[in-house]
Structure 1
Amino acid sequence: MMGVFQMPSLGADMEDGTLVEWLVAPGDDVKRGDIVAVVETQKGAIEIEIFEAGIVQSLDAELGARLPVGAPLATILAEGEAPPPAPAAPTDEAEAERHEIAPTATAPPPPETRTITFGIAASPAARRRAAEAHIELAGLAGSGPGGAVMLRDVEGIAPAQDSPARKPSDAMAEMRKAIAAAMQRSKREIPHFQLSQSVDIQTASDWLSARNADLPPAERILLGTLFLKAAALAAAKVKEMNGHYGDDGFIPARAVNLGVAVALRGGGLIAPAIPQADGLSLPDLMAAMKDLVARARAMRLRSSEMTSGTLTVSSLGEKGADAMAGIIFPPQVALLAIGAPKLRPWVVDGEVVPRLLATFTLSADHRVSDGRQANRFLAEIDAQLQKPEAL
């Protein structure tokens, strides 16, 4: 059955987006998960996936159009479905009658044509700059991953007199507005409560050092990967921390799609998700995290990565404050914030010894959980990190 592909919602705070590129044309076959368009929001340019298989019948939105969530973008024919019949041609009599009653007028000039390039790997920033400078991407040699055209490739040949692309400071200002709106709504609508626990991570750190000792840098695992896996496993057990809260109340998620808060260069924060993180091995989780961070900072994220998160983890890394309390990303119901690991005095077997500690602070939605579930979640993370070889 013919379907309408609509402007998706890429976050609880999104009201509209600007269509900046089509990656398909009428007549193209598409399948679930294919990237078909690029939409720019206040959080950057996002690659839009389609979630039905079929044939593109028509593109129903113009490039550059700012469209609200739910606006039609394209018409998709189901597999095997015949296209609708073309409008019947007017009869000679009707055509003659139309000419008799139509006033004489000068024919309008033909509309300006635009050439749309499909299937060329390029960053959204490069595409915007190329469009502004009237440069064909097909003629450029890309310096990015897999030969992708990057902004620097376009800037190298773009005429100086062309209108400049939007300043990074302007983009960051827009992102800050989006973050402020989302966080203000979150604090207003979600009854947050926080619970913190200091976790002895010395055993995990020692195990990781031994594991990484004889491996090349590309195969080593960061301590933060263990934190992510422990959080994902805990979320799979304490389901009140993993899901979405909407008009129908709380809906627990079937999988742990772990959102990872990524600080962008120049400012801003974004939290795309790693799907089914609880089922990934540590090397696979490390690879997924590196890939996600790289694409987030290059603004090459997919729409599903922006909307599928069921729990978010935000870490301060190896250096920074001891602890922080985060704000939940709606419609999620929890956020785990991890302070920088610090060497502290700690009691082990009745003796005070130096141990590496990290403070885990859970922000949770009181409509879904209370201190009992939050305590279970943090205790489960602690337990997982005491046996890192099993992660």
Structure 2
Amino acid sequence: MIEFLMPSLGADMEDGTLVEWRKKPGDFLNRGDIIADVDTQKGLIEIEVFEEGVLEKLLVEEGLKVPVGTILALINPDGIAGKKSKGQPMDEKVPIQQPIEETRPVSFEEQNSETKRIKASPLAKRIAEAERIDLSSISGTGENGAITKEDVENAIATREGVAEMEKPKGIKMEIAGEPEKGKAGTEQVGMEQLKEAVPEKKPMGTVPPVEAIRSAVAAAMSKSNREIPHYYLEKKIDMSKSLSWLKEANSERPVQKRLLPAALLIKAVALAVDEVPALNAVWENGLQLKNEINIGFVVSLRTGGIMVPAIHQADAKSVDEIMEVLNDVIPRARALKLRSSELSDSTITITNIGEGSADKVFGVIYPPQVAIIGFGGISEEPFAENGLLGIRPIVHVTLAGDHRATDGLTGSRFLGALNKYLQNPETL
């Protein structure tokens, strides 16, 4: 019997709340299936299963908060016993331990005795509370008329559709100090701009996601500074050839398919790590080298804080495929809608502060990884090559390494390999 555990989604995660089971006993599980939704400091995460078999038994009830490593369910790899249970009532879910105590305000649904009798999944109740949706006005489509997440989302969509039809095309707002636009001091402002100008009200008593994310990041970085002996290296890399290659490649692509420098940098890092595999590792009871090169890419959230989703097997992907992944993952990361594997599988991390920003960034290693690469903004600087001085687009690349796992010689070899690939972008 395979034990399915509460996964660790990073060094900053100690526990998670099992919000909703997506599968029931008797269901056959394929590798990559979403088995549950878990609430963490990083948002509501879809948890994948990486074993095939029949879901035999659920051991933790929806709504319980349990530590990382807790057995959540049992999976029968043979599927013999599980197949017999198909069509039978779901086994009683027995929590294997007491939930972690957590104080929270009483929701407006819980204050209403009529609402408490409404059958709805925990996730549906949570979304309804956050969006101020009256569950009594929704007809459930789940088992025995239970209200599901999809029912609540449909109600929200309906409400927003009505609001869209009723709202005015625009409003007049006084803009102090603005030049004349039609009438002096006024400007036509769309509702989307007004929505950004006026902060959205949050349910009372809830912790804003950005604060929880910042706390999680701070915990991981504090652990890193305490436990990891960092060393730092820096190299200036001429980006002339890479940018010229990108310009030529993008001239043949439609706008939506154009490549960004970040995709090229990720590919170059993946190939350089393939040459220097000691950096593609984790430190867990000693050094453990990883076979797959999964590049963690730091994404800044618009409300503050960061998320670090993984780009799986980046060395085997083309630059175009990496760009497609970025276009998919970045919006989901900013919406806090990542999967568990995207948060837990990184083997080395890149932080890239983008153009027009600081010249250098010195990263802090994300445990249990052993290295992080930082790319500053690309800017024009004097650069000498073969005795000639010129102005070139330069990027300052830094490497923070774990001195328990590697040393400066290993890091220097990596930066040399990275430079080689960026000087020959056609090989990427």
Equivalent pair of 2:128/2:152 in contact (CA under 8 Å): no
If the length of structure 1 is used for normalisation, what is the TM-score? 0.82
Structure 1 residues 39 and 312: alpha-carbon distance in aligned structure 2, compared to 1, 3 A threshold? same
* Cα displacement (A) at 1:187: 0.7
Identity of aligned residues (%): 39
Equivalent residue for 1:48?
Answer: 47
**CA shift digits 1:47-90 (9 cap, x unpaired):** 1011211222333222221111122322323333215999xxxx
Equivalent residue for 1:285?
Answer: 322
Q: What secondary structure, in the 3-state scheme, does the structure 1 residue paired with 2:208 have? A: helix
Q: What secondary structure, in the 3-state scheme, does the structure 1 residue paired with 2:81 have? A: coil
1:81 partner amino acid: I
Q: Does 1:241 align with 2:286?
A: no
- For structure 1, the residue ranges without an aligned partner over 5 or more in a row are 87-110, 143-148
Bigger shift: residues 332-341 or 2-11: 2-11
Structure 1 residues 178 and 356: alpha-carbon distance in aligned structure 2, compared to 1, 3 A threshold? same
Equivalent residue for 2:400?
Answer: 363
Structure 1 residues 221 and 186: alpha-carbon distance in aligned structure 2, compared to 1, 3 A threshold? same
Equivalent residue for 2:336?
Answer: 299
If the length of structure 2 is used for normalisation, what is the TM-score? 0.75
Equivalence map 1:194-213=2 (5 Å): 194-213=232-251
2:366 partner amino acid: F
- For structure 2, the residue ranges without an aligned partner over 5 or more in a row are 89-115, 139-146, 163-200
> How many Å separate the matches in 2 of 1:132 and 1:41?
23
Q: What secondary structure, in the 3-state scheme, does the structure 2 residue paired with 1:301 have? A: coil
Equivalent residue for 1:334?
Answer: 371
**CA shift digits 1:177-211 (9 cap, x unpaired):** 11111100001100001000000001110111111
Equivalence map 1:150-169=2 (5 Å): 153=157, 156=160, 165=203
Equivalent pair of 2:41/2:209 in contact (CA under 8 Å): yes
Q: Does 1:263 align with 2:267?
A: no
Equivalent residue for 1:17?
Answer: 16
Structure 1 residues 82 and 214: alpha-carbon distance in aligned structure 2, compared to 1, 3 A threshold? closer
Equivalent pair of 1:316/1:340 in contact (CA under 8 Å): yes
Structure 1 residues 166 and 196: alpha-carbon distance in aligned structure 2, compared to 1, 3 A threshold? farther
Equivalence map 1:1-391=2 (5 Å): 2-83=1-82, 114-116=119-121, 126=127, 129=130, 133-134=134-135, 136=147, 137-139=149-151, 153=157, 156=160, 165=203, 170-247=208-285, 249-391=286-428
Equivalent pair of 1:126/1:154 in contact (CA under 8 Å): no
Equivalent pair of 1:129/1:154 in contact (CA under 8 Å): no
1:234 partner amino acid: A
Structure 1 residues 276 and 125: alpha-carbon distance in aligned structure 2, compared to 1, 3 A threshold? farther
> How many Å separate the matches in 1 of 2:204 and 2:252?
46
Residue-pair matches, total: 350
> How many Å separate the matches in 1 of 2:205 and 2:315?
39
Structure 1 residues 141 and 272: alpha-carbon distance in aligned structure 2, compared to 1, 3 A threshold? closer
Equivalent pair of 1:194/1:361 in contact (CA under 8 Å): yes
CA RMSD of aligned residues (A): 3.0
**CA shift digits 1:102-132 (9 cap, x unpaired):** xxxxxxxxx96744499xxx9x985773697
